[in-house]
Amino acid sequence: MERYSVIREKHPREIVLLKAFPCAWGRCAFCDYTDDNSRDEEAINALNFQVLSRVTGQMGVLEVINSGSCFELPEATLLEIRRIIREKQIQRLFFESHWMYRNRLQQMRDFMGVPITFKIGVETFDNDFRERVLNKHADFQMPEEVARYFDSPCLMVGIQGQTREMIDYDIRMLKQHFRLGTVNVFVNNTTAIRRDEELVRWFLDTYGWLREDPAVEVLVENTDFGVGD
């Protein structure tokens, strides 16, 4: 599995995929990324230190992702991230967090000592689909609530049961309430959630312009950021 990459197009940055403790929620219906989690703290830190050693600071921006939230990274790993931020003169950090940690974001900003762009896996702003089908465990009702805490929502498109109208609404809310965002095209995995090929084709045709939008990153494959497998 590749755990380090450099993104050179929109928002140039280095990116690392780290291991963490199990996701505090861990029951999203579409997610099998939790297979990358562990309870072996020593092994987690050993791997993470090795991956973080590849960070050069060349972009001045670092994104750290793991199969869960940044708050599930071990303390030693967080301390190493902070050390590297200072040593490599990183000016901005990208982290991802679940909705349940929304009241701890400032705590992490204070700890790291640099501006943090916080991503959140919203998947969709359609509340019924997000909770009943995807089992996201994120009880906000309106995009404005998310925007009070987070900088950049991650949306998911192309799932069976999702509609064009849902996607239209999600993209509109992304552009209306946030400066940044990511749209992930769903890829079949080991879960029971399935991809809707016709809906994917419609999205890529209708929203092809998002690829030129400097504020939105579209991931057609899970590995489009250069990490994962």
**Domain residue spans of the chain:** 4-219
Query: What is the CB-side half-sphere exposure of residue 216 using CA atoms within 13 A?
Result: 23
CB 148 within 8 A of CB 123: no
How confident is the prediction for the chain on average, in pLDDT? 96
C-beta atoms surrounding 87 within 10 Å? 10
Domain 4-219 in CATH 3.40.30.10? The answer is: no
pLDDT computed for residue 192 by the predictor: 95
- pTM higher than 0.85 for the full model? yes
**How far is the C-alpha of 223 from the C-alpha of 41, rounded, in Å?**
26
Residues in the chain with pLDDT < 70?
Answer: none
pLDDT computed for residue 40 by the predictor: 96
Phi (first) and psi of residue 196, to 5 degrees: -105, 100
pLDDT tens per residue across span 55-103: 999 999 999 999 899 999 999 999 999 999 999 999 999 999 999 999 9
